[in-house]
Chain A
Amino acid sequence: MSDFWRRYARNKGAVVGLVILILVALIAATAPLIFPGSPWDMAGAPFLPPGEMGMLLGSDSLGRDVAAGIAHGARVSLLVGAVSTVAALAVGVTLGAIAGYLGGLADDLVMRFTEFFQTIPSFVLAILLVAIFTPTLSSVVFAIAIVSWPPVARVVRAEFLSLRSREFVQAAEVLGKSRLAIVVTDILPNALSPIIVLASLMVATAILLESALSFLGLGDPNLMSWGFLIGSGRSVIRIAWWMSVFPGIAIFLTVLALNLVGEGLSDALNPRLARTRGGKA
């Protein structure tokens, strides 16, 4: 484990990313303490620039505190990112494992099904799904999960295809282990590294998707989110730039942090790759 951290910490950007991510998570966790009360409530005069009347990041067109909106929005963004990634992983890993391990006809069927999803522009599909199911937190998570599992399935299938023919899997086969046991105890643990890396990047994509949906007004109307903040600030960006810029920075930093963490994980989990990169630097 310490070895893992040493390799991770060699990538300075990844450490920075992790620090940012922890900060965002802390803000999300402590939002009700720092900003008690609903972020939808009026807290002062509208269009206050940052710093006035005790509002660090200014107020919006209805006098709501932008800082409170960002802090509470962090909860929604991280929640949507995490839950939809878990859901997408569950679908993607299962289908990828079936396709990669069984091969043949099952592989063909699953992969054609996956390609079917991949040929539809994912954002359009997400909009469509949210519009059909009325915008709520769960329908947003569902829509994001539906559009983001195909890459997982492809990665998992590729890993399984190569691991399936390895001798230790054949040995397990000869021992008479059941297919499920072979997949769960022999193949999956060895395929975990790319899945973890992919997952960290998927969280970032999910946050972006959720923001984009909220920006279009397709987020959960009862929840404050970063995309909603930008969306509502869009029409007054000339007189109140802070309404869109600060939530934008929040999204930018979080997504950047997740990408940095993903890269750090990929270095730490693939020591050989990390070494060649270190050699170049």
Chain B
Amino acid sequence: MSLLTVEGLTVALPPGAERPHAITDITLQVDRGEILCVVGESGSGKSITANAVMGLLPKALPRQAGRILLEGQELTGLGPEALRRLRGDRMAMIFQEPMTALNPLMRVGDQIAEVLEVHGAGARARDRVPELLAAVNLPDPGSLARAHPFRLSGGQRQRVMIAMALALEPALLIADEPTTALDVTTQMQILRLVREIQTRRGMGVMFITHDFGVVAEIADRVVVMQHGRIVEQGAADEVLNRPQHPYTRALIAAVPHGAPQARAAMATPVVLAAQGVAKTYRRGGWFGPRATVRAVHDADFVLRRGETLGLVGESGSGKSTLARCVVDLVKPEAGRMLFHGQDLRPLSRAARKPFRQRIQMVFQDPFASLNPRRRVGEIIAEGPITHGTPRAAALARARDLLALVQLDPGAMDRYPHEFSGGQRQRIGIARALAMEPELLIADEPVSALDVSVQAQVLKLLADIRGRLGLTMLFITHDLRVAAQVCDRVAVMQQGAIVEQGPTDQVFGAPRHPYTRQLLDSIPGRGWTPPDLQDPQA
């Protein structure tokens, strides 16, 4: 008997949604002692499936058909009280966002003890807390239990969440994208932890993710979902290396392939050189001590014409701050930012304006980077208009650019909210290209996108770069993307560039320990996506 059996589960969407059902006819099993990965892009219904099992569906999404059995017990039709007793005790869930999943006003230990008390552990609850914290490899459990959540890092909070979920030794653990909000090195630690605990206790784990690297890292079996349906399921090895369904094949083909090619060193003129740029953030003042954060220091680099330099690092490493120093969105307090030999840093707003045309930027979040109240055509054309191009000519050029980024010219008169994330990112790219820049700064341009869309945008960027001879500064936290896109990479840690060089050298023979650690943390490093030349594609 399987631990969890879901049979023919169908959940309706409210009327007026883009499809009638959030999930349709879902049938899957989780056995004891296995990790089942549910993979799919955003909107594929994978989280709805997990929430349905936990009995956490919102009222607007009623279950229409199907059965859910946990250890042979029917969950569908159970009252809220009966379900509540099962939750935590027999099945537990960890969520994506560890920053908001803990009560900020309660000490960590109290929150874990609460789980035990709710399920009747009584006075002994508190004694078990240090043991649970130790089980998720948190250092110094005694003092950590007395800390408030704000003192903990994202990874530590996620460990606390896992400790809470494991407190009652549930038979089934559901993990909904538990590592998506975390840095790669932390992600790897959490993945290992889940794997280790699962083996130690023989739990069944349903692990929801959008990342095939994560799947390759921990899955025993895989379920692939698209538009609320299961399109393929099977053993991890089968699905990853011999995918059958076209959608699975497309997804796997879209995973950035980690192998960096050796590229000839460029001997072209230097476009941009950062020398001794430093930015320090200060907090506090007046009363109490001032906290200072050195966001960027010791981060010299040069960028030659036609090459792509990748800035890689984890969140808080200063890579975005450094990029923003180039375009003056952040004002560094020291150093020189030389563009064709001219220092940009001391320039006034007016003196900088001519350079604006030559240095452009693509932003990370396609939903925040376009003004929601303006039409797409105006968004693209406004840069050239600002720099003196007649309005009609700028709009005509915007039309051409839409074609260049593979969007319909009809998009001109529509508003940004009518487009998907990938389309919006194309609009953002078109806006940058409208200025005919020499240097393009791409700040995590694909990290907010689904993997298949990500592949399209990366391809578009590579295509445009080749066609227009662009020089690019490419910021990313995803080393697989960096390996695919960049000629050279610079690895940043705590505001400093710790290693830089040609991509194949840095990735093939890393010298700095931090680079090595980063590379070891790429999920699914042991798995090379098969070469899928789809006849249809």
> What residues of A have a CB within 8 angstroms of the CB of B372 in the complex?
168, 190
Please judge, given known A-B contacts A189-B373, A190-B371, A190-B372, whether A174 and B327 are in contact too, CB under 8 Å: yes
Interface string of B297-339 (1 = CB under 8 A from A): 0000000000000000000000000001001110000000000
Check A170 against B371 for contact (C-beta < 8 Å). no
Judged by a CB distance under 8 angstroms, whether A3 is at the interface is: no
Binds B, one of A93-101, A140-148, A175-183, A200-208: A175-183
Q: CB distance A167 to B382 under 8 Å?
A: no
Query: Cβ of B386 and Cβ of A175 under 8 Å apart?
Result: yes
Q: Which of A167, A177, A178 contacts B368 (CB 8 A)?
A: A167
A168-B417 Cα distance, complex, nearest whole Å:
13
Assess whether B356 is in contact with A176, with CB atoms less than 8 Å apart.
yes
Asked if A174 and B329 sit within 8 Å, CB to CB, the answer is yes
Which of B48-56, B250-258, B358-366 has 4 or more CB atoms under 8 Å from chain A? B358-366
Q: Return the contact of B382 from the options A166, A175, A179, A189 (Cβ within 8 A).
A: A175
User: Do B353 and A168 have beta carbons less than 8 Å apart?
Assistant: no
Map CB proximity to A onto B414-441 as digits: 1 under 8 Å, 0 otherwise: 0000000000000010010001000000
- Nearest residue (CB) in B for A177 is B386
Tell yes or no: A108 within 8 A of B by CB: no
Closest Cβ–Cβ distance, residue A166 to chain B (whole Å): 6
Q: B370's closest neighbor in chain A, by CB?
A: A168
Q: Does B383 contact A (CB under 8 A)?
A: yes
The answer, yes or no, to whether B73 is at the interface (CB within 8 Å) is no
Q: Which residues of B contact A178 (CB under 8 A)?
A: 386
Q: Which residues of A contact B383 (CB under 8 A)?
A: 175-177
Q: Is B515 engaged at the interface, CB distance under 8 Å to the other chain?
A: no
Q: Which of B353, B373, B387, B431 contacts A171 (CB 8 A)?
A: B431
A174 to B439 CA separation, bound complex (whole angstroms): 12
In the complex, the answer to whether A168 meets B386 with C-beta atoms within 8 Å is no
Question: Which residues of A lie under 8 Å from residue B360 when comparing CB positions?
Answer: 174-175
CB distance from A231 to the nearest CB of B (A): 46
Taking the complex as formed, is B5 at the interface, i.e. its CB lies under 8 A from any CB of chain A? no
B371 touching A186 by the CB < 8 A rule? yes
Q: Is A30 an interface residue (CB 8 A)?
A: no
Any A CB within 8 A of the CB of B44 = no
Classify chain A's interface size: 10 to 19
A170 touches B386 (CB 8 A): no
A52, CB-defined interface residue at 8 Å: no
Contacts of B364 in A (CB 8 A): 167
Per the bound structure, the CA–CA distance linking A186 and B374 in Å amounts to: 8
Within the complex, the shortest CB–CB distance from A181 to chain B, in Å, comes to: 7
Contact of A166 among B368, B374, B431, B435 (CB under 8 A): B368
Let me know if A181 and B386 touch, CB within 8 A: yes
Contact A170 B387 (CB under 8 A): no
- Which residue, A167, A174, A178, A190, has most C-beta atoms of chain B within 10 A? A174
B52 to chain A, nearest CB (A): 21
- For the complex, is A185 an interface residue (Cβ under 8 Å from B)? yes
Fill in one digit per residue for A92-115: 1 if any B CB lies within 8 Å of its CB, else 0.
000000000000000000000000
State whether A176 touches B387 (Cβ < 8 A): yes
Given contacts A167-B363, A168-B369, contact A173 B329 (CB under 8 A): yes
B368 and A168: CB pair below 8 A? yes
Contact A170 to B329, CB < 8 A, known contacts A176-B386, A177-B382, A186-B371: yes
How far, in angstroms, from A179 to B352 measured CA to CA in the complex?
Answer: 13
User: Separation in Å of the A82 CB from the closest CB of chain B?
Assistant: 25
Q: Which residue of B lies closest to A167 (CB)?
A: B369
- What residues of A have a CB within 8 angstroms of the CB of B387 in the complex? 176
Contact A190/B373 with A167-B364, A168-B368, A177-B386 known, Cβ cut-off 8 Å: yes
Chain A residues contacting B359 (CB-CB under 8 Å) are 174
Contact indicator A171/B428 (Cβ below 8 Å): yes
Contact present for A171 and B356 (CB under 8 Å)? no
Instruction: Decide: A174 near B369, CB < 8 A? Known: A181-B386, A185-B374.
Output: no
Known: A167-B369, A189-B374. 11 other contacts (CB 8 A): A166-B368, A168-B370, A170-B363, A170-B369, A171-B363, A171-B428, A174-B356, A175-B386, A176-B383, A179-B349, A189-B373
- Sample 14 A-B pairs with CB under 8 A, ordered by A number: A166-B368, A168-B368, A168-B371, A170-B324, A171-B363, A171-B369, A172-B371, A174-B327, A174-B360, A175-B435, A176-B352, A176-B356, A177-B386, A185-B374
Interface residues of A (CB under 8 A from B): 166-168, 170-179, 181, 185-186, 189-190
Q: Could you list which residues of chain B lie within 8 angstroms of chain A, going by C-beta atoms?
A: 324, 327-329, 349, 352-353, 356-357, 359-361, 363-365, 368-374, 382-383, 386-387, 428, 431, 435
| Chain A to chain B: the 9 pairs with minimum beta-carbon distance, closest first | A176-B356, A167-B369, A175-B383, A189-B373, A167-B368, A167-B363, A168-B371, A176-B353, A174-B361
